[in-house]
Structures are given as structure tokens and as C-alpha cells.
Amino acid sequence: MQDSIVQSQQGERAVSSNDAAELRKRAIAVGIGNFMEWFDFAIYGYFAAVIGQLFFPSTAPGVSLLSSLAVFAVGFLSRPLGAVVLGPIGDKLGRRAVLIITVFGMGLATTLIGLLPGYAAIGIAAPILLVALRFLQGMMVGGEWSSAGIYIVESAPANRRATAASVITGTAGAAFLCGTAIAAIITATLSDADLMAWGWRVPFVASIIMAGVAMYIRRKLGDTPVYEALQHKRATGAVEQVSRGAKQRAFVVSFAFSALFGVSLYYFITYANTHLTQTVGLSKSTALVLCSLALVLYTLFNPLVGRLSDRFGRRPFVLTAAAGLTLLAYPVFLLMNTGSFAAILLGLVIMAALVAITAVMDVVLLVEVFPASIRSTGAAVGHNVALALLAGPGPFIAVALIQATHNPNIPAAYLAAVSLICFIVLWFLLPETKDRDITHG
């Protein structure tokens, strides 16, 4: 028992002793791959209408868009499979190994989507291949988000873990901002014919460059101090046992805060743009400008949330975000549906602040609620099952609800309901984890 305590203390000191240069190197390596992952997802969301017309042509109103958003959801349905396959690799072979696999697979799949002929060229093979590539993308993402978060948080000093987590969420925000900006430029500078013919493909194909850079940097990384300490424990037979009940509780809690994060995130970064153009009736350029402004603030909010959480804890922030999304979902949609630039921006800024909290809390809690020996598997599975079941279908459900009810505010009901359930679960099951020893187990 005394040996375990000493080893845990040594593990914490090992994390704390990383110098600034090494932490910066790790943050850059993880950040580039994470940026690429979310850039790829962003551009699919922003070009969903174009992709729908090319791969799912239909004369019925809304069918092409619904089909493309359904394929967007396919990328989430495959995430649990990616978690099951890649999570154990992270626990057995190290966090770094997963990061190399995922960045290669994601870059390859995204580039192939950009090169894929449409329905007019190859018929039914086009949507089938698109679904297959989205499935592969989803598998890679199933390992990337949690593994990147684990890597950077396990490499950080104990009193800076949430700040380190904001590197993951901040680069994701920057990726969506970049995706929005590129989508706006392409949309504004190309004719509709050129956009349909080749313009939308450019950012997909360009992702291969980012993938190459990320792979090169990640291959030069070592593993995390926490994982190295875990390997030492395994070699000496000193790994602490984790009860089945503790594992189940960790899974339920991770499912709740991951669902809160995932549903709110994809309402904010993917569905909001679609809603403003398809339902509110704004031009594509105006909608993209509004989303870009909100994303700037979202990106800036992330490090602030991280620093405040390192000081005041995780529980107050995640519960505040859950309560806020429950109570403010409907008012946010009322603001967006006014069509007023200022009102829409206010609604998006409210969302940006709440989603930033859920994002940073998701990353740091995925590390802190799971024991070290099962962290990669547990975090990947808990996170990705939640996103597959609730977050991925979110934009599709939002569009379908509007088409069924003709009520532009009805998507708020889904967001509020999920947030309320998550609040209840986290209120009763989530302890404060800020000072938890993450080398344990």
C-alpha cells in the first residue's frame, strides 16, 4: 500500500516536472491532429446541402439535406467501434500509438471524400462509398478525441489539467472557425456551378497536407508520464484493482457529460448554420459571418474556462452548463428565429459560452473519472457511445422535427431534454475530481 502511494506521488511529480518546451511540443503535436479532425467535420457540416444534392439527388424538398445529415450521423455511429478497437491499444501500447493511427486514417478518408465522384457520374456507388468513408472517419474520431485529451492532460502539471484540456477544445474551435472562414470564402468567390463542380472538394483534399505534418510530429513524441508510471506498476504488479461498480459509475458519468457536450456542440457548430440558411432564410454568407463571430468568442472562452476550473473545480462548471442549456435552449432559438443580426449573434454567443464549458469539462473529466489502467478504453467508449446515440443524430433530428411540426423553435426541445437528463445524472453521480490522483488504478 505504501509503495503504491509513493509511486502515485512520483507519477504526479513526473507530470509536474515537464518543462515548458516539452509541454509546448506535445501541445503542438496533439493540437495539429485535433485541428485536422474537427476541420474535416466542420467542412462536411457546412457543405452538407451541396453534398446532399450531389450524392443524394431528389426533387422532394429537404430530402437531399436530410440524407446528407444522415450520413453525417453515420460518422458518429461508427465511433463506438473505433473506441472499442483503438481504446485498448491506448491502454496496452500507449496513448501515442493511437494518435498516429487516427491522424493517418482521418486524413486518408477525408481526402478520398474530396475525390469521390457524385451520383451523376457513378450512380448508387457514390452514396455507398460516401457512407463507407464517413464510417472510417468516425472510427478514427472514436480514438482521436479521447486519446488526444488523455495525452495532453496526463502530460500536464496536476494543477493545470483543465487548462491543458482547453488546448484540445480550443484547437477544435479554431478548426471550426477556419472551416467556416474557408467555406465563406469559397461560397462568396465561386459561382454556384463551380461550387457544386469542384469548389467544395478543395478543403477535403487539402486535409492530406495537415495529416502528413501531424503524423511527422506525432511520431517523434514520447508517451505520457502517467502511462510510463502505469507501465512501471504493471512490471512490478502494483496496479490497483478497480471494482466493477466503479467502472460502471465512471461509464454512466462519462456518458452524461459527453452527451451534454456533444449535443450542444453540434447544435452550435453544425446545425446553427443550417438552421439560419434553411429555416430562418439568411444568405449563406450572412449565416457564415454570424457563426464565425460566435466561434471566435467560443475559442477565446476555452482557456478562460480551463483556468477557472483549475481554481474552482469541475462540478460547479459542468452543472452550470447543463442547467443553462436546459433553461436557455428555447430563448436561444427565439433569438435566432427573429432574423435580426444582433439578436441572432446574442443567441449564438450564449451558446458559445455554455458549449465552451461543456467542451473543456468533457476533456478533463474523461481523464479524471477513469482509472489509469482502463482510461483509454473507458474514456473512448463512454464518450463515443454518447455521441453516437445522441449527438450525431442531433442535426438530423432538428431538421426532421421542423419538417414534422413546421415550428422553427422545436429543435430547442431536444437540446433542453438531453441537457436536463444530463444535469440530473451528474448532480447525483459526479463527485469533484479536481484534486484526484490520475495515476491511480
Span 318-339, pLDDT tens digits: 999 999 999 999 999 999 999 9
Asked whether residue 5 is assigned to any structural domain, the reply reads no
CA–CA gap between residue 151 and residue 162 (Å, rounded): 13
Task: Give the residue carrying C-alpha cell 442547467.
Answer: 323
DSSP at 373: G
Lowest mean pLDDT among 128-142, 348-362, 426-440: 128-142
What is the chain's Cα-based Rg?
21
pLDDT score, position 12? 44
Interatomic CA distance for residues 214 and 238, integer angstroms: 35
> Looking at residue 342, which CATH number applies to its domain?
1.20.1250.20
Q: Would residue 440 count as lying in a domain?
A: no
Instruction: Read off the pLDDT of residues 229-270 as tens digits, 9 standing for 90 and up.
Output: 888 888 888 888 888 899 999 999 999 999 999 999 989 987
| Domains of the chain: total | 1
Q: How far apart are CA 407 and CA 58, in angstroms?
A: 24
Q: 237 in the Ramachandran plot: left (φ > 0), alpha (ψ -120 to 50) or beta?
A: left
Asked if residue 10 is part of any domain, the answer here is no
Give pLDDT, residue 1.
41
Instruction: Kindly state the DSSP code that residue 391 receives in the 8-state scheme.
Output: I
- Residue 6 scores a pLDDT above 50: no
Q: How confident is the model at residue 351 (pLDDT cuts 50, 70, 90)?
A: very high
> Mind listing the pLDDT tens digit for each residue in 378-424?
999 999 999 889 987 888 899 889 999 999 999 999 999 999 999 99
Q: Do the domain assignments include residue 78?
A: yes
Whether 438 maps to a domain, the answer reads no
Q: Which 8-state DSSP code applies to residue 98?
A: H
Q: How far apart are CA 207 and CA 225, in angstroms?
A: 31
Mean pLDDT estimate for the chain: 88
Contacting residues for 418 by C-beta, under 8 A, at least 6 apart: 259, 260, 263, 390
Domain carrying residue 401: 15-429
Shortest CA distance to 135 belongs to which of 101, 108, 109? 109
Residue 188 lies in a domain: yes
Asked if residue 437 belongs to a domain, the reply is no
**Taking residues 353-377, what's their average pLDDT?**
96
In 3D space, the residue among 140, 165, 144 whose CA is nearest the CA of residue 154 turns out to be 165
296 neighbors 177 (Cβ within 8 angstroms): yes
- Predicted pLDDT at 8: 43
What distance in Å separates the CA atoms of residue 176 and residue 35, rounded to the nearest whole number? 8
Contacts of 384 (CB under 8 A, 6+ apart): 76, 79, 80, 82, 83, 141, 142, 146, 258
pLDDT of res. 388: 85
The per-residue pLDDT for 16 is 45
Distances (CA, A) of 379 to 248, 254, 315, 406: 12, 7, 18, 38
Does 18 have pLDDT greater than 80?
no
User: Average pLDDT for residues 106-124, to the nearest whole number?
Assistant: 91
Residue 299, domain member (yes or no): yes
Sign of dihedral through CA atoms 178, 179, 180, 184? Answer: positive
Average pLDDT over residues 108-129: 90
